[in-house]
């Protein structure tokens, strides 16, 4: 049978195999120039200055004196041919060409055979292959660094206990909790997955507004002429009476709390224990929105239109009075620009000195505003939520609520939280797609806060447990 291999068709077959599988390697191929007459290399013979197929007899157990060429598992309709000088096993008749010298392999096979989980290795033909997996987990591969990222965690229990973080894609990320105030007379804490953590229901009247700090404390303005401080477990720390209904509330990074008093037009500052630090001169209208920035400056919006900036002592720095309607939307971006939205649908941007930059009309009542770290603006208007880029162009609009959206907040990663008169709380991803919906409330959701507190107030990082 082996003698039959000397038939002419073998020459064509062997030539084809070398052209297909050896041609891409650094070894010479038939037709290349050569200068060592009579030299043999990889089954080729240097003859008349040209590499040609060596048609010398190859017998069982003979050594050709050239580099080994193994045409393993090649289906010739008979037994295997081994030109390496080893015995031929003619028992395998179902062969293929998968393992020939320079046969390119898949990235995964190449990287696995090279013992590399992540990074760049050369495949059999000298091509540079990037292995973008690490023990089967693609997110752990840092393509820019061309190396595997050491996993921080496999379960939530592996993440730092002192902060609210969880394990996502083998890395510990902040677990932002949401706090809601509803006309069902409850305040609730909801985790990042949309599950209720606790609820506080010891109110005699409706909680109107709330805010949170980085320690997990929440501060609530209540319709019963009081403000309350709740701890991270939902227990009441203290309740402080006010001389009028506080329609707004804010907290700074030092733990001072600010809320309206004195017919709703004066502003009071409270320390962390709930004691009054100062009361400023009252305005002639209700304060319905209140913010504090990282420098301790305060911003108030009213039911009559004017917006004010106050210094940390409560003294007025400027007044912006372009609106003639109730301003329920108030937000600050990273450069100190202020955004206002009123009940007639006027959205305005105001510079840090109190001068209007632009205005935009939306045919809806604007109920709330929020700004993320990239200075994108979110507007709750009617039953919708719209995202605007820093240039004022609409990015997307969310329309899945079935009643007016009354509350809005955004976390450090750009996820948006909405509360509505349809009693639901929704979490949206940065592209405006709904992540989950919480339906535990039985009445209008009036306010939403997300820990660790507003970044515009100076809060940052993962919240405390």
Domain edges within the chain: 1-103, 107-148, 165-457
Q: Left (φ > 0), alpha (ψ -120 to 50) or beta: where does 357 sit?
A: alpha
pLDDT given for residue 59 in this prediction: 37
The string of DSSP codes covering 10-50 is HHHHHHHHHHHHTTTSSS--TT-B--STT-EETTEEEETTE
**Cα 368 from Cα 181, distance rounded (Å):** 14
pTM: 0.69
pLDDT given for residue 282 in this prediction: 83
Q: CB-based contacts of 398: which residues, under 8 Å, 6+ apart?
A: 384, 385, 386, 416, 418, 426, 428, 432, 434
pLDDT given for residue 7 in this prediction: 43
Give the residue from 450, 400, 369, 429 showing the smallest Cα distance to 188. 450
Q: What is the DSSP letter of 109?
A: H
Give pLDDT < 70 ranges for the chain.
Answer: 1-32, 38, 41-43, 47-150, 160-164, 169, 264, 455, 457-458, 460-461, 463-465
The four Cα atoms 207, 458, 235, 249 give a dihedral, to 10 degrees, of -20
**Cα 134 from Cα 178, distance rounded (Å):** 34
Pairing of the two strands 287-292 and 207-212: unpaired
Note whether 285 and 306 are within 8 A (CB).
yes
pLDDT given for residue 154 in this prediction: 74
**Cα 104 from Cα 28, distance rounded (Å):** 18
Note whether 199 and 218 are within 8 A (CB).
no
The string of DSSP codes covering 155-175 is SGGGS-TTB-EEEETTEEEE-
165-457: CATH topology: Methylamine Dehydrogenase; Chain H (2.130.10)
**Cα 66 from Cα 45, distance rounded (Å):** 9
pLDDT given for residue 146 in this prediction: 56
């Amino acid at each position: 049978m082996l003698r039959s291999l000397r038939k002419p068709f073998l020459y064509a077959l062997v030539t084809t195999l070398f052209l297909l599988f050896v041609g891409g390697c650094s070894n010479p191929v038939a037709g290349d120039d050569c200068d060592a007459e009579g030299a043999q290399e990889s089954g080729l013979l240097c003859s008349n200055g040209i590499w040609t197929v060596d048609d010398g007899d190859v017998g069982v157990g003979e050594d050709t004196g050239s580099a080994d060429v193994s045409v393993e598992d090649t289906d010739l309709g008979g037994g295997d041919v081994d030109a390496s000088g080893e015995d031929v096993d003619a028992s395998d008749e179902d062969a293929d060409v998968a393992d020939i010298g320079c046969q390119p392999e898949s990235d995964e096979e190449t990287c696995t055979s090279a013992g590399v989980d992540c990074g760049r290795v050369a495949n059999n033909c000298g091509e540079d292959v990037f292995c973008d997996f690490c023990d089967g987990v693609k997110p752990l591969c840092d393509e820019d660094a061309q190396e595997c990222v050491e996993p921080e965690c496999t379960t939530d229990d592996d993440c730092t206990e002192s902060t609210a973080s969880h394990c996502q894609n083998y890395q510990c990320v902040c677990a932002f909790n949401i706090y809601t105030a509803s006309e069902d007379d409850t305040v609730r804490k909801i985790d990042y997955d949309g599950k209720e953590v606790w609820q506080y229901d010891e109110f005699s009247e409706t909680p109107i507004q709330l805010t949170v700090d980085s320690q997990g404390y929440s501060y609530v303005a209540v319709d019963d002429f009081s403000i309350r401080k709740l701890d991270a477990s939902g227990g009441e720390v203290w309740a402080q009476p006010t001389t009028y209904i506080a329609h707004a509330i804010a907290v700074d990074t030092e733990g001072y709390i600010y809320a309206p008093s004195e017919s709703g037009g004066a502003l009071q500052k409270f320390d962390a224990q709930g004691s009054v630090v100062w009361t400023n001169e009252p305005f002639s209208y209700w304060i319905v929105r209140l913010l504090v920035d990282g420098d301790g400056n305060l911003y108030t919006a009213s039911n009559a239109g004017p917006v004010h900036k106050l210094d940390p002592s409560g003294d007025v720095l400027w007044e912006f009075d372009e609106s003639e309607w109730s301003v329920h939307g108030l937000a600050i971006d990273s450069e100190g620009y202020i955004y206002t939205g009123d009940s007639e649908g006027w959205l305005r941007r105001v510079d840090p000195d109190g001068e209007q930059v632009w205005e935009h009309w939306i045919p809806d009542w604007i109920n709330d505003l929020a700004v993320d770290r990239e200075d994108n603006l979110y507007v709750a208007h009617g039953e919708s939520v719209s995202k605007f880029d820093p240039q004022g162009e609409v990015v997307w609009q969310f329309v899945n609520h079935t009643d007016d959206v009354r509350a809005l907040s955004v976390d450090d990663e750009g996820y948006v939280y909405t509360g509505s008169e349809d009693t639901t709380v929704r979490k949206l991803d940065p592209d405006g797609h709904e992540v989950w919906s919480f339906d535990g409330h039985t009445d209008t959701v009036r306010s939403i806060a997300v820990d660790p507190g507003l970044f515009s107030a100076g809060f940052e990082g993962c919240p405390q447990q």
